[in-house]
Amino acid sequence: MRPNTEYIIDISHSPDRKPRGFIKALIKRPGRPAEMVWFANTLESYQRVVDGYIETVTLASDLIIICNEEGRMLGLPHNCNICSMDFFGTIILTGSKGDDFASLKYSPEQLLQFFPELFGERKEETGC
* Residue 15, in any domain of the structure: yes
- How many folded domains does the chain comprise? 1
Alpha helices in the chain (DSSP H): 43-50, 108-114
Residues 6+ apart with CB under 8 A from 61: 96
Domain-embedded: residue 50: yes
The answer to whether residue 11 is domain-embedded is yes
Report how far residue 26's alpha carbon sits from residue 80's, in angstroms, rounded to the nearest whole number.
14
Is residue 26 within 8 Å of residue 36, measured between CB atoms?
yes
pLDDT tens-digit series, residues 32-77: 989 999 999 999 999 999 999 999 999 999 999 999 999 999 999 9
Query: Which is nearest to 90 in space by CA: 65, 123, 122?
Result: 65
How far is 61 from 6, CA to CA, in rounded Å?
29
Domain that holds residue 82: 5-105
Does residue 25 lie within any of the structural domains? yes
Residue 120 lies in a domain: no
Looking at 4-18, 21-35, 45-59, 80-94, which range is the least confident one? 4-18
Within a domain: 43: yes
Give the chain's mean pLDDT: 86
Q: Which of 52, 60, 49 is nearest to 102 (CA)?
A: 60
pTM of the model: 0.86
> Is residue 111 a part of any domain in this protein?
no
Q: Indicate whether 74 belongs to any domain.
A: yes
Give the Cα separation of 51 and 92 in Å (integer).
12
